[in-house]
């Protein structure tokens, strides 16, 4: 990361900021001059991130639409929104519980859409605002055990394309990022459920190896900025060449 004024005087909300990707994104944007509002479930991590990056923080439960309403009520006019919250139940379908599927679809697919709904209703998005949602390569690459997660991310991307068309007259942009294997706690937890041989074989599919949260943060910065002002409705793979 290098300091700049790319986002000077820009108000950007980062949801899911206590996760590895959300935290890296918040730090990148802060270095680039953004005025941050960060949101997450883990209050300790949220306090530490706010102490590091400044700005304001909101501890919000996004298990239902009330959390989206709370967020929209608490923020001012925004230049950018990043949704990096998510959950990934990795388990064969025969063992999937109803609650796991519902929680996955709710947090990964429904809440991003409801959050934007509330921000629009309360006129919290400025003309020209940029929205970035965190998706996954799982949306287009079938993997055993990922049925619920893949469905949630495919639905997210479909919503983003529709929303991009809907908001284009206001010069608002909506894009997704689809990370590959990023070294995070979530990825480590997933890796613990498969054999060392399977993990090694999977990593060989990445020409540039596994990625870092900073790689996703840099891509997010691009999609939020005016450098991508003619880009909307896409899903940007950040995957070290996995999807070649």
pLDDT < 70: residue spans in the chain:
1-3, 184-195
Structural domain including 122 reads 11-235
Q: What is the pLDDT of residues 200-244, one digit of tens each?
A: 777 888 999 989 999 999 999 999 999 999 999 999 999 999 988
- Facing residues of 78 across strands? 125
The pLDDT assigned to 1 comes to 47
Number of domains in the chain: 1
Positions annotated as catalytic residues are 149
Question: Over the stretch 137-161, which tens digit does the pLDDT of each residue have?
Answer: 999 988 888 999 999 999 999 999 9
Q: From CA 241, how far away is CA 236, in angstroms rounded? A: 12
Residue 219 domain flag: yes
Cα–Cα nearest to 28, from 6, 57, 59: 6
Q: Is 243 part of a structural domain of the chain?
A: no
Residue 241 belongs to some domain of the structure: no
Q: Answer yes or no: is 144 within a domain.
A: yes
Dihedral of the alpha carbons of 178, 179, 181, 182, in degrees to the nearest 10:
-160
Which CATH number fits the domain that encloses residue 32?
A: 3.40.50.720
């Amino acid at each position: 990361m290098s300091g700049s004024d790319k986002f000077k005087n820009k108000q950007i909300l980062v949801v899911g900021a206590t996760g590895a990707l959300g935290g890296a994104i918040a730090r990148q944007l802060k270095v680039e001059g953004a005025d941050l509002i960060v949101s997450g479930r883990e209050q300790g991590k949220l306090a530490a991130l706010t102490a590091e990056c400044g700005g304001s923080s909101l501890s919000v439960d996004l298990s239902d639409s009330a959390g989206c309403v709370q967020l929209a009520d608490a923020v001012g006019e925004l230049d950018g929104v990043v949704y990096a919250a998510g959950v990934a139940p990795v388990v064969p379908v025969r063992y999937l519980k109803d609650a796991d599927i519902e929680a996955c679809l709710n947090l990964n697919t429904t809440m991003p859409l409801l959050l934007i709904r509330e921000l629009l209703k309360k006129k919290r998005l400025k003309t020209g605002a940029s929205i970035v949602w965190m998706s996954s390569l799982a949306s287009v690459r079938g993997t055993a055990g990922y049925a619920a997660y893949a469905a949630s991310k495919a639905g997210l991307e479909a919503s983003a394309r529709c929303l991009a068309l809907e908001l284009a007259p206001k010069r608002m942009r909506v894009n997704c990022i689809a990370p590959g294997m990023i070294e995070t706690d979530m990825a480590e937890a997933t890796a613990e459920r498969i054999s060392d041989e399977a993990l090694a074989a999977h990593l060989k599919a990445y020409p540039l190896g596994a990625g870092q949260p900073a790689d996703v943060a840099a891509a997010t910065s691009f999609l939020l900025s005016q450098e991508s002002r003619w880009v909307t409705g896409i899903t940007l793979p950040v995957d070290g060449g996995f999807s070649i």
